[in-house]
Chain A
Amino acid sequence: MPRKNTKEEKQRIENFQRESKRSSRFLLAAVIVTVVILIFGLLLGNYLATSRLQKFQQSEEMFLVDLIALDFRESLGQNVCDIGLDGLWNDKVELGQMLTSLERRLGKDSPQLTTKREIYELIEIKIMQNLEDIKTNCHEDFNIILFFYTNKKNDQLGSAAGSEDQGLILDQINRDHNDLGQGKKVYILVFDINSQNPASLTLKQKYNITKAPSLVINGETHDYMVKDEIEKLL
């Protein structure tokens, strides 16, 4: 430790501390600039994220318009077999990818996404109905898988980790069947088990879904299944 200061040392310390005041101003300025840049970064990020949410909302609205138009076409007498769903399905997949991207950015529990996810699930239910119609009436041979998942950790309704694994297996099945053409075409529709939307609740009741992950493969309900088990049913 420094010994007791002499007069000359006191003078030197005073000079040293005068110089230090200049450095303190630099430090203060650095703190201010850092805070400003951080706030700017956060605000800019929020602004850009909001604009992306708006873009997603627009896409969802356009999709809803297409679905309503589809309904009208059916009610006006056009045969569902003539309409086809490929274009609509591709748009739905794209919408799903946008939602996943936003979930990665804002978090799966983000309240900003709650309504958007509900609308997306309604879209899925509507598409599911159309797919079932086509399958029944047009004698087309494909598989419909409904996947009920949870994102919540420590969810009483099921396991988030198990849901993630099941999702990955379904991704692989989608790739094998739809991209690589290995086997019959598969349409996979995903639903949050915690969704309180009346339509989703009815869907869960219909298939007796009580936990996640759960699968409904061509109308039959199953618990978590490994890839080979699913493949046997397709």
Chain B
Amino acid sequence: MAFPVLPQLPLWVVYPILIIAFFISFFYIIVLLAGKKEEPKAKNYFPEIAFVIPARDVQQWIGKCLYHIIKQDYKSKIYAVVVNDASHDRTPEIVKELAKKYNSRLREIIIVNRLKSIDKKAAAVNTGIRYVLKNLKSVEIIAPVDADTFIESDAIKKAMGYFEHDKNTMAVIGPLMPYNTEGFLGKMQYVEYVMSVFFRKLLHYSSALCVTPAFSIFRAEFFKKYGGYNENTWTEDFDMALKVKSKFYNIAQIDSKAYFVAPENLKKLNTERVRWAHGTWQAMFKDYNYMISPKYGAVGTFFLPVTVVLGTALIIAALLFLIYGVIAGATWFFHNLAIGWKPVLEFKISFFDVSVLLSDPRFILAAAGILVSVIFWFYAQNYSKRKVNLIHYLLFFIPYTWFLAYTQLEGLIRYIFKLKMRWGEMHTQRKLN
């Protein structure tokens, strides 16, 4: 042979990917059509609430974060407990200034100082939670929120509706949207979050919601009974959600949004997503693998086994198939060149060729998949009340989804081979140090 070639992939490999993708999609469509629940309104339950804000070198954002907390449309007392995680910048001074400015009968900013940081958000949040449980005994609700996250003014009021109407609801999350949407990555993350908050709402409708991201609201009793965040995982948020669900409590999602500062470059985004992937695999293989069971409802039968494990495994498989396909295609290209074939740019396709292509079930199913994704695109915009440009939506699938698949693969490799992980820079002023 003139040039060694790799065998081409059999075309049936597409089927398992299509089947899983269809199953996940149809589950969501059925929930969308049949599972909708009205958002309950709070009538009598307006307890005292304490926000816990881990803050390390966040002078750029902490003021905005606190402002949105102070300005909550909520008639009971709100504490904002800022845990200064050994900041090197002006974060503590800014917090003190804001406390002087805003502290009143119904609003109070408190600063708790950690003299030495172990560079883990969970540790700082736990410090805040311990402070609240020990010193603010009248507080019934604790809401950890990242310092670079800004919540809408009716978020707390809406969350109380869920707590009042369902005593099994232990956590309520706010849909996150990126605050910074400039540039290609900003736009892609915007599309990603518009879609993900929509799917999370559907998971909420099906009692399968199992995430507590940068803005989550908990009953304080949960922390009293079961302790705070796991400091030995790379995804303390996901770990906490699994902990809530493992105790058979519900997690709900309100419609009021929270805006967070998204990673603004590929390196930071990659570090963040690899960390998430690593933490997810850790939870699935080690800490919470027992939850893949019908005992845990749709979390144990759909969310964890199908969406998280199978869905992620398939997207990794699809990425590997793509890479293999490109390499194999290249070997064939060079092989063909070596035997005298010359590439020509010609577009010669007959009606018969097209009609034969259309008769391929893979093509028909892929077309159905495109239709389903258009339905999701439409409803996700409706739910989030945000427009998503169709071109951006297409770019989200190619190449952004491939990038996400890569981060999953890297996270899995790092988990399996116990490679070094990084928390990554927060989107802050740390570079000033």
> Which residues on A are within 8 Å of B, measured CB to CB?
1-2, 9, 12-13, 15-17, 19-20, 22-24, 26-27, 29-31, 33-34, 37-38, 41-42, 44-49, 51-52, 55, 94, 97-98, 101-102, 104-105, 161, 165, 168-169, 171-172, 175, 226-228
Which B positions have Cβ atoms within 8 angstroms of A? 1, 18-19, 22-23, 26-27, 29-31, 34-35, 168, 206-208, 246-250, 290, 294-298, 301-302, 335-336, 339-342, 344, 350, 352-353, 355-361, 363-365, 368
**Of all chain A residues, which has the CB nearest B300?**
A20
Residues of chain B contacted by A48 (CB below 8 angstroms): 355, 358-359
Cβ of B206 and Cβ of A26 under 8 Å apart? yes
Count A/B pairs, Cβ under 8 Å. 139
Whether A34 and B356, one on each chain, are in contact in the complex, defined by CB atoms closer than 8 angstroms, is no
A178 to B57, CA, bound (A): 72
Q: List, sorted by A's number, 25 A–B pairs whose CB atoms are closer than 8 Å.
A: A2-B246, A16-B207, A17-B297, A20-B294, A23-B298, A26-B30, A26-B34, A26-B206, A27-B302, A29-B30, A30-B26, A37-B365, A38-B18, A38-B19, A41-B368, A44-B364, A48-B358, A52-B352, A97-B350, A101-B352, A102-B356, A161-B1, A169-B340, A226-B339, A227-B340
* A44 nearest CB across to chain B (Å): 6
- Decide if A16 touches B355 in the complex (CB within 8 Å): no
What residues on A are CB-neighbors of B1 within 8 Å? 161, 165
* Among B1, B294, B340: residue with most chain A CB under 10 A: B340
Identify B23's interface contact among A12, A22, A34, A169, CB under 8 A. Answer: A34
B residues within 8 A CB of A47? Answer: 359
Q: How many Å lie between the Cα of A9 and that of B364 in the bound state?
A: 48
Whether A41 touches B341, Cβ cut-off 8 Å, given contacts A1-B290, A16-B168, A23-B298, is no
Q: Which residues of A contact B249 (CB under 8 A)?
A: 12, 16
A residues in contact with B363, CB < 8 Å: 45
CB of B346 to closest CB in A, whole Å = 9
User: Chain B: interface secondary structure?
Assistant: helix
The 6 closest A-B pairs by CB, nearest first: A20-B297, A48-B359, A227-B340, A23-B298, A45-B361, A30-B27
CB-based contact A41/B23 at 8 Å: no
CA of A13 to CA of B245, assembled, Å: 11
Tell me whether B207 and A24 are in contact (CB under 8 A): no
Q: Once bound together, how far apart are the Cα atoms of A95 and B342, in whole Å?
A: 24
Q: Give Cα A17–Cα B300 distance, bound, in whole angstroms.
A: 11
Residue of B nearest to A2 (CB): B246
Check if A42 sits within 8 Å of B168, measured CB to CB.
no
Known: A16-B168, A16-B297, A105-B359. 19 other contacts (CB 8 A): A16-B248, A17-B295, A20-B296, A20-B297, A22-B207, A23-B208, A24-B298, A27-B27, A30-B27, A37-B368, A38-B365, A41-B361, A45-B359, A47-B359, A48-B355, A51-B359, A97-B352, A97-B353, A168-B341
